[in-house]
């Protein structure tokens, strides 16, 4: 079964490479990153292309630890918030770059039903379950299935989640495949199979500052585009109300490029008050698609770096680091505060298992789950 998942992921990666402007060799290497308290060894896999773009992946949490690339002057910088070593991710978890699952985002009351059976998940976000609970995929060691250099650099990681793990039904066999090509496309494919009905919604939780991680001006000056006519408003517990609300030229309208700073403190909008800024899901105009299509475009006008996020999923959560309060010391000894980074998380809609009008997150035996996404890093000169 696992071979089928991996084959699907690698087929997508090859297709992405063949459409790139160049198909030169990219490098994949692995190195020890430390051990967990139980003695489990953790590795770092580094993917590098010939244009100066590189990505580091930790097997702990299947975490994207860094993504580095040149600015308009050729200066290389890491554009991801996070930690310099394994210890930071273990001791001070904050979802920096991790793979989140089984269910990314919030589920109201940690409860959902499949048929006539009700399930209760851990409550790790006050009255909600967030990102799979307090022992989600981000806090588990993943196994290395393969690491390959070639036209694209590739690493495949796997995890088996037992039936009942964190309250979720069904044994889930999961893989995450990272690929990097010469055009600066960092592909991520999440794939899973279950032996009984369950829910799955996996994504990556990278937090970006395209000026370079730790830059003093933060990321609020970045210009953001989200091709979506509507978003899903939330209640005071950050659970979607079920409505699809038109953006209609207000602070949630990013159909044309806008500075993030322009609306993030607009307390006249109750949604901004609830989220302490932006922490909402946009309903992408494209909906769910077979191949990844544009979900968001982020540009730093100073460095010239551009990030495009593509996905097969119908939504994207835009989170502007509103809960970063200066208590976390990240890479290079930097204190992270609100607005220091931006997350753009492709996904099913939050609380979809409790909202019949939203696209279902149910996964059944014989019908595998798959989410393909791309972080495309480039430079506007």
pLDDT given at position 266 = 95
Identify the domain containing residue 227 by its residue range.
Answer: 2-379
Q: Sign of the CA dihedral 301, 306, 310, 313?
A: negative
Catalytic pick among 182, 299, 313, 345: 345
Token pair for 145: 């299935």
Closest by alpha carbon to 51, among 380, 379, 381?
379
**Helix (H, G, I), strand (E, B), or coil: what is residue 49?**
coil
Q: Are 321 and 339 in contact (CB under 8 A)?
A: yes
pLDDT given at position 6 = 43
Q: Are 167 and 189 in contact (CB under 8 A)?
A: no
pLDDT given at position 381 = 76
- DSSP per-residue codes, 160-195: EE-TTGGG--S-EEEEEEEEE-TTSEEEEEEEEEES
122 sits in which H/E element = none
pLDDT given at position 25 = 78
Q: Which alpha helices (DSSP H) does the chain contain, by range?
A: 2-18, 86-91, 270-275
Cβ atoms within 10 A of the Cβ of 258, count?
A: 16
- DSSP per-residue codes, 4-24: HHHHHHHHHHHHHHHTSS---
**Helix (H, G, I), strand (E, B), or coil: what is residue 67?**
strand
Closest by alpha carbon to 186, among 310, 74, 290?
310
CATH of the domain at 357: 2.70.98.10
Phi-psi region of 222 (alpha: psi -120 to 50; beta: other; left: phi over 0): beta
pLDDT given at position 24 = 63
pTM, entire model: 0.93
11-45 CB burial, b ≥16 within 10 A, e <16: ebbeebbeebeeeeebebeeeebeeeeeeeebbbb
**Helix (H, G, I), strand (E, B), or coil: what is residue 311?**
strand
Q: Is 371 an annotated catalytic residue?
A: no
Residue 124 burial (10 A CB sphere; 0-12, 13-18, 19+): middle
Sequential pLDDT tens for the chain (381 residues): 444 444 444 444 444 444 444 446 799 999 999 999 999 999 999 999 999 999 999 999 999 999 999 999 999 999 999 999 999 999 999 999 999 999 999 999 999 999 999 999 999 999 999 999 999 999 999 999 999 999 999 999 999 999 999 999 999 999 999 999 999 999 999 999 999 999 999 999 999 999 999 999 999 999 999 999 999 999 999 999 999 999 999 999 999 999 999 999 999 999 999 999 999 999 999 999 999 999 999 999 999 999 999 999 999 999 999 999 999 999 999 999 999 999 999 999 999 999 999 999 999 999 999 999 999 999 997
Token pair for 161: 């989640």
Catalytic pick among 131, 205, 222, 371: 205
Tell me how far apart the terminal alpha carbons of the chain are, to the nearest angstrom.
Answer: 46
DSSP 275: H
What's the structural domain count of the chain?
1
């Amino acid at each position: 079964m696992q071979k089928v998942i991996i084959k699907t992921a690698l087929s997508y990666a090859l297709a992405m490479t063949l459409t790139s402007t160049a198909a030169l060799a990219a490098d994949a290497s692995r190195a020890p990153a430390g051990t967990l308290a139980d003695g489990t060894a953790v590795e770092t896999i580094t993917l590098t292309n010939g244009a100066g773009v590189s990505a580091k992946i930790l097997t702990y949490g299947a975490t994207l630890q860094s993504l580095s690339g040149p600015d308009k002057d050729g200066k290389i910088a890491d554009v991801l918030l996070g930690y310099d070593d394994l210890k930071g991710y273990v001791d001070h978890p904050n979802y920096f770059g991790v793979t989140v699952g089984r269910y990314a985002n919030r589920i109201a009351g940690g409860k959902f039903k499949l048929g006539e059976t009700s399930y209760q998940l851990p409550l790790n976000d006050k009255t909600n379950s967030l990102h799979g609970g307090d022992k989600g995929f981000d806090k588990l060691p993943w196994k290395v299935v393969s690491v390959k250099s070639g036209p694209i650099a590739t690493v495949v990681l796997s995890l088996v989640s037992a039936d009942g793990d964190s309250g979720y039904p069904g044994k889930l066999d999961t893989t995450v495949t990272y690929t990097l090509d010469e055009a600066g496309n960092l592909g991520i494919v999440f794939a899973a199979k279950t032996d009984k009905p369950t829910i799955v919604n996996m994504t990556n939780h990278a937090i970006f500052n395209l000026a370079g991680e730790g830059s003093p001006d933060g990321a609020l000056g970045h210009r953001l585009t989200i091709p979506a006519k509507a978003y899903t408003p939330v209640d005071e517990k950050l659970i979607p109300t079920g409505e699809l609300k038109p953006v209609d030229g207000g602070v949630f309208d990013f159909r044309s490029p806008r500075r993030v700073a322009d609306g993030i403190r607009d307390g006249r909008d109750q949604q901004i008050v609830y989220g302490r800024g932006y922490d909402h899901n946009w309903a992408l105009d494209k909906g769910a698609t077979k191949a990844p299509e544009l979900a968001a475009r982020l540009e730093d006008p100073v460095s010239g770096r551009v990030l495009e996020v593509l996905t097969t999923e119908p939504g994207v959560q835009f989170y502007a680091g509103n809960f970063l309060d200066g208590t976390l010391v990240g890479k290079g000894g930097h204190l992270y505060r609100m607005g220091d980074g931006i997350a753009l998380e492709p996904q099913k809609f939050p609380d979809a298992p409790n909202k019949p009008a939203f696209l279902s997150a149910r996964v059944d035996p014989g019908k595998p789950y798959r989410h393909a996404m791309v972080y495309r890093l480039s430079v506007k000169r």
